[in-house]
Amino acid sequence: MNSFLKTGRSFVSHFYCSRTRSFRSPLRPKTIESSDTSDSSLKPSSVTEPTSPKKSLDLSADVLRDEWQQIIFHHTATPRTSKFNVEWCRSLHVDQRGWSDIGYHLYIEHDGSISKGRPLNRIGAHCSSKNYEAIGIAVCGGMLADGSYGITLTEEQKEAMKECVAELRRCTGKQLPVSGHRDHKSTLCPLFEVKDIFDE
Ligand SMILES: [Zn+2]
């Protein structure tokens, strides 16, 4: 059973956005972790999109690394449907790629709800040159109904992106500049321009 938690405001907080200076994970990656979830073999899903209540992000009980300096967004290169949720992504990274955990710290679902991925006191696996300092957030989508790649971002997902950034800035006390994976390497991930969303 996966250990991820859907976000909510029901946590009893023992750490108020705690940060740690020298956290050392007891887990070791089984293989080198790199790249994102892009998989050209994925086919569009016929899964319909159920409506589920959107929950607010509350990281008050989470321990954050002091080294976080920025936030990098990704897309999942999948149809924006409920099938490709955080559990699907964790399974892809852990069961298929042999990583220690999902590569992203936060995951914005097809309906704009936010799920927690890899704990924020651990270095992620999403942007090889920036993993040490960058929090990774994946946004479900990036593939159109016909199987071609395209922008599928919705207003709900944009709001969730802003909510993630606001909460991370609150918890770290830092401005944490935002960017897309494609701003750091030659990739189409994500297809949308991150800075445009935050300049709206
Ligand atoms: Zn990416």
- Identify the CATH number of the domain in which residue 92 sits: 3.40.80.10
Residue 46 in domain? no
Asked if pLDDT for residue 165 goes beyond 60, the answer is: yes
Sign of the alpha-carbon torsion through 49, 50, 52, 58: negative
Residue 168 in domain? yes
Residue 145 in domain? yes
Provide the domain count of the chain.
Answer: 1
Residue 43 in domain? no
Residue 10 Cα, ligand 1 centroid: separation in angstroms? 31
Residue 156 in domain? yes
Residue 137 in domain? yes
Q: Taking the mean position of all CA atoms in its chain, how far away is CA 12?
A: 24
Residue 109 Cα, ligand 1 centroid: separation in angstroms? 15
DSSP H/E element including 139: strand 134-139
Higher pLDDT, 29 or 176: 176
The pTM of the full predicted model, rounded to 2 decimals, is 0.78
Residue 104 in domain? yes
Higher pLDDT, 173 or 25: 173
Backbone angles phi, psi at 95, to 5 degrees: -80, -40
Residue 3 in domain? no
For residue 148, what are the domain limits? 58-199
Residue 103 Cα, ligand 1 centroid: separation in angstroms? 10
Residue 189 Cα, ligand 1 centroid: separation in angstroms? 5
Residue 143 Cα, ligand 1 centroid: separation in angstroms? 14
Region 170-195: what's the mean pLDDT? 97
